[in-house]
Structure 1
Amino acid sequence: MTQKNITGSMLANMVLAGGANSLTNNADRIDALNVFPVPMGDTGTNMNLSITSGASEVKKSDQSSVSAVANAFAKGLLMGARGNSGVILSQLFRGFAKGLEGKKELDIDSFVIALDNGVSTAYKAVMKPVEGTILTVAKDTAAEAQKIAEEEKRYYFFFRKSCTCF
């Protein structure tokens, strides 16, 4: 419960077991959420296919550092990006990976910086960013993470404060 750093192998497990599996299991719910600018009905599917591509690269990656894992994930996401949501997701993680460049392990402060870098990269990649989209969710998440990180440096408690899923 006092985990303060995430290793490359831990990040890989988070991507594979947590992120990719959760998205696979909830793609239909995400499809139903997407109503802007019109209900597309395929956002969850596109994000799932994109994440699956990123997860495949992580499985093949050097997992000795968070930088290597994040770069592999970002590369896989970009190569397998489907639809606008997949492309935006790939840009979020491209910026996240750049924020972790050269890092062997990930502490809370570096995590928050990487999140913010992901948001900046994604906003720059979209010609006309519109609030109320995944960009807004990412921006608000990064801002909330920054607030929590000012008080909490242990991952268990950090995520417990930032997520209602516990």
Structure 2
Amino acid sequence: MIQYIDGKQVRNMFVSGANNLKNHKDLVDKLNVFPVPDGDTGTNMSLTISCAIKELNKVEKDDIGQLGKALSKGSLMGARGNSGVILSQIIRGIAQSIDGKETLTSMDIAKALKNGSDIAYKAVIKPVEGTILTVVRESSEYALKAAVLEEDIIEFMKLLVKEANNSLNRTP
């Protein structure tokens, strides 16, 4: 059982997630229908997270706080379109929550995701349900409940990904 992750694993998770988004940006482009089906959400999010990873790669140590700050700065500076700005705010909230930690438990991850959701909602003047905001909110709310029951990071993440996909399937 893995009860915590360290900075190296945080780095690897973000790099892996960025690669996954890049590999599936066309699919995400097709999911976009709000406010208009302009087909660029995946592209904008991929470009945004790519800038975050470039900034992350400048950090030599695997210090969780430094990694979070780099991701936050890179995503904000590289934010493209509405979806990129929202993604950068989610990352900003996560970074704020993990700052100063040497390791992260499933509860730390859940709280960070919830803070990311809260920050993103505050950054949008008129949040609309059925969007990325809904998926991050529902996922973070679920994460807080799941973290109480599941301390194993791998099992927790499996549950979280499943719920995120369920939330996505419930959105228009």
Task: Please report the TM-score for the alignment, with normalisation by the length of structure 2.
Answer: 0.91
Contact 1:12 1:63 in 2 (8 A): no
Q: Secondary structure at the match of 1:163?
A: helix
Q: Secondary structure at the match of 1:5?
A: coil
Matching residue within 115, 118, 121 for 1:120: 118
Report the Cα offset of residue 64 of structure 1: 2.8
1:162 corresponds to which residue?
160
Contact 1:6 1:66 in 2 (8 A): no
Q: How far apart, in 2, do the equivalents of 1:66 and 1:20 lie?
A: 17
Q: How far apart, in 2, do the equivalents of 1:160 and 1:46 lie?
A: 26
Show CA shifts across 1:40-69 (max 9, x none).
Answer: 110000000000000111111143322211
Report the Cα offset of residue 31 of structure 1: 0.2
Q: Which segments of structure 1 move beyond 4 Å, counting only runs of 4 or more?
A: none
Cα RMSD for the two superposed structures: 1.3
Segments of structure 1 that go 5 or more residues without pairing to the other structure are none
Matching residue within 133, 136, 145 for 1:135: 133
Report the Cα offset of residue 144 of structure 1: 1.3
Contact 1:8 1:68 in 2 (8 A): no
1:59 corresponds to which residue?
57
Show CA shifts across 1:109-160 (max 9, x none).
Answer: 1111111111111111111111111110100110111121111011111122
1:81 corresponds to which residue?
79
1:8 corresponds to which residue?
7
Matched to 1:5, the amino acid is Y
Report the Cα offset of residue 161 of structure 1: 2.3
Identity of aligned residues (%): 47
Q: Secondary structure at the match of 2:24?
A: helix
Contact 2:11 2:62 in 1 (8 A): no
Aligned positions, number: 163
Q: How far apart, in 2, do the equivalents of 1:27 and 1:83 lie?
A: 14
Q: How far apart, in 1, do the equivalents of 2:161 and 2:62 lie?
A: 27
Q: How far apart, in 1, do the equivalents of 2:87 and 2:67 lie?
A: 16
